[in-house]
């Protein structure tokens, strides 16, 4: 029996739930699932340009574990691109450090440190058409659903 996966710290939920190739209906595509921990590893190492030790410290795992995690994440992204597959971001054992909301009318994103700070109207345009992105991943309280997570209950369910 494998060891339980250590909980990953993720700064905020992704601003999207996944990506798919243009011009191909999703029903015809195979899926590749990127966990929230793998997403965070790509964000820290490839987008933010941090070295593996810095990124590992932020996520809360060892450097060798981070190296395996980023390698696995990059392989999944490459599989989705080269294999023309839908890439879905969901699942894993994670905790969000912040809350993220998006105005569906003007598109602005707002980050909050706690649920108590969430707003009911967009600070930019005043719209009440607000989406709490943490809820996409089943985490209104900031905690991931252990080994399930995801906006579909994990693993395409």
pLDDT tens profile 78-113: 999 999 999 999 988 888 999 999 999 999 999 999
Whether residue 102 is contained in a domain is answered as no
**Residue 113 forms part of a structural domain:** no
Q: Report the pLDDT averaged over residues 50-61.
A: 96
Task: Tell whether 20 is covered by a domain.
Answer: yes
In-domain check, residue 157:
no
Domain presence at residue 130: no
Residue 51 lies in a domain: yes
State the Cα torsion 92-96-102-108 to the nearest 10°.
-120
Query: Are 14 and 41 within 8 A, CB to CB?
Result: no
- Write the CB contacts of 18 (distance below 8 Å, at least 6 apart in sequence): 86, 87, 88, 89, 90
Is 109 inside any structural domain? no
Residue that wins the pLDDT comparison between 47 and 114: 47
Q: What's the mean per-residue pLDDT of the chain? A: 86
pLDDT band at residue 136 using 50, 70 and 90 as cut-offs: confident
- How crowded is the C-beta side of 102, counted as CA atoms within 13 Å? 12
- Judged against a pLDDT cut of 60, whether residue 16 lies above it is answered with yes
Structural domain count, the chain: 1
Domain containing 93 — which CATH number?
1.10.10
Distance, CA of 71 to CA of 16 (rounded, Å): 22
Residue 148 in any domain: the answer is no
Confidence bin at 141 (pLDDT 50/70/90)? very low
Provide the residue range defining the domain that includes 23.
8-97
Residue 37 tokens read as 């921990």
């Amino acid at each position: 029996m494998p060891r339980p996966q250590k909980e990953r710290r993720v700064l905020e939920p992704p601003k999207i739930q996944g990506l798919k190739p243009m011009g191909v209906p999703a029903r015809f595509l195979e899926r590749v699932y990127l966990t929230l921990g793998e997403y965070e590893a790509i964000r820290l190492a490839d987008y933010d340009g941090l070295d593996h030790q810095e990124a590992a410290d932020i996520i809360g795992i060892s450097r060798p574990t981070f190296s395996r995690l980023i390698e696995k994440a990059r392989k999944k992204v490459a599989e989705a691109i080269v294999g023309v597959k839908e890439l879905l971001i969901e699942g894993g054992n994670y905790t969000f450090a912040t809350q993220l909301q998006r105005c569906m009318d003007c598109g602005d994103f707002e980050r909050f440190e706690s649920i108590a700070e969430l707003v009911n109207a967009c600070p930019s345009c005043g719209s009440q058409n607000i989406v709490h992105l943490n809820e996409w991943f089943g985490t209104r309280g900031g905690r991931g659903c252990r080994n399930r997570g995801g906006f579909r209950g994990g693993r395409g369910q």
